[in-house]
Amino acid sequence: MFELSHLRCFVAVAEELHFGRAAARLNLTQSPLSRQIQLLEHALDVRLLDRTSRSVTLTRAGHNFLPEARRLLRLAEGAALAARRTAIGEEGTVTLGFTAASGYEFLPQLIQTLRESAPGIDLDLKEMVSADQLDSLTAGRIDIGLIRPSYNRREFDSLCVVREPLVLAAPEGHPVAALPEVSIADLDQQPMVAYSPYEARYFYDLLATLFTSAGVRPRYAQHISQIHTILGLVKAGIGLALVPRAAFNLRFQGVVLRPLAGDAHPIVELHAVWRPRNANPAVATVQTVLRERVRACL
């Protein structure tokens, strides 16, 4: 079987039509160059060049083989480049877990940034709640998770990538919807669409602490895990809700979002989390992009 070195020698001679110039181009002497051509012709069992003491010409087989030889060399060079780029993290695939709410704003921004600064990185996206992401990180099913900070596992490294306030969601026509801002006290005895204590534990604990500190006792109408579902229930008049500011991006018709008044501005966070000894080189590239985004937003 022929080797890539045979192809390089053939292409050089076929393009130069002169053994001396081809040898100089390849930093060889003419004798080993001629031997490489002979080995290629022997492997193919066909004559590629007609050569005399005065001229070199391509046979019909040589003419047909030349574009194929060039294509094989390009493929080999491309494969080698791809391997090098993968090894240093310029190319590859990162499996990224994310919560539904992170897809409202942060995730689309991250994807756009990666396309601009690291176009060789492909994201394999997996939507799942934070608890499932932690299990998947431990099992190696995902490389990076975008989760709420309701974890205490020391085996992970993390970076806070989003800090945003909660806002009040009310149906159009509700009295609080007419206010420019709403206080926590306004929610006392109001029906509320709350977060599930299981699938949305982070939000559940956060609001429970907020209401207890303010001495507010809302009436919980439903416990739901997904924010877009919560907004749908708000629109239906089931109750009010506190949701992350990123919910503005949903432009949910029939629902009005209002900021909270005074010093009561509870902040929710989104963290990027990963195993510290992940062998995938592309993960380090995504980590770098995440850190640069955080610095740019400070």
CATH 2.60.40.420 fits 92-161+269-297, yes or no: no
CB 42 within 8 A of CB 79: no
Q: What CATH number does domain 4-87 carry, 3.30.559.10, 3.40.47.10, 1.10.10.10, 1.20.140.10?
A: 1.10.10.10
Q: Is the pLDDT of residue 96 over 70?
A: yes
Confidence tier at 198 by pLDDT (50, 70, 90): confident
pLDDT of 54 over the 60 cut? yes
pTM of the model: 0.69
- Alpha-carbon separation of residue 106 from 100, 170, 226, 271, 282 (angstroms): 11, 24, 16, 11, 20
> What is the average pLDDT across 229-238?
95
Percent of the chain residues topping a pLDDT of 90: 48
Question: Does the pLDDT value for residue 82 go beyond 70?
Answer: no
Q: Map out the domains of the chain as residue ranges.
A: 4-87, 92-161+269-297, 164-265
Q: Indicate the Cα dihedral angle 238, 242, 247, 250, nearest 10°.
A: 10
Note the pLDDT of residue 51.
86
Q: Which CATH architecture describes the domain 164-265? A: 3-Layer(aba) Sandwich (3.40)
Judge whether 281 and 86 are in contact, CB under 8 Å: yes
- Structure tokens given for 246: 């990123």
78-88 average pLDDT score: 66
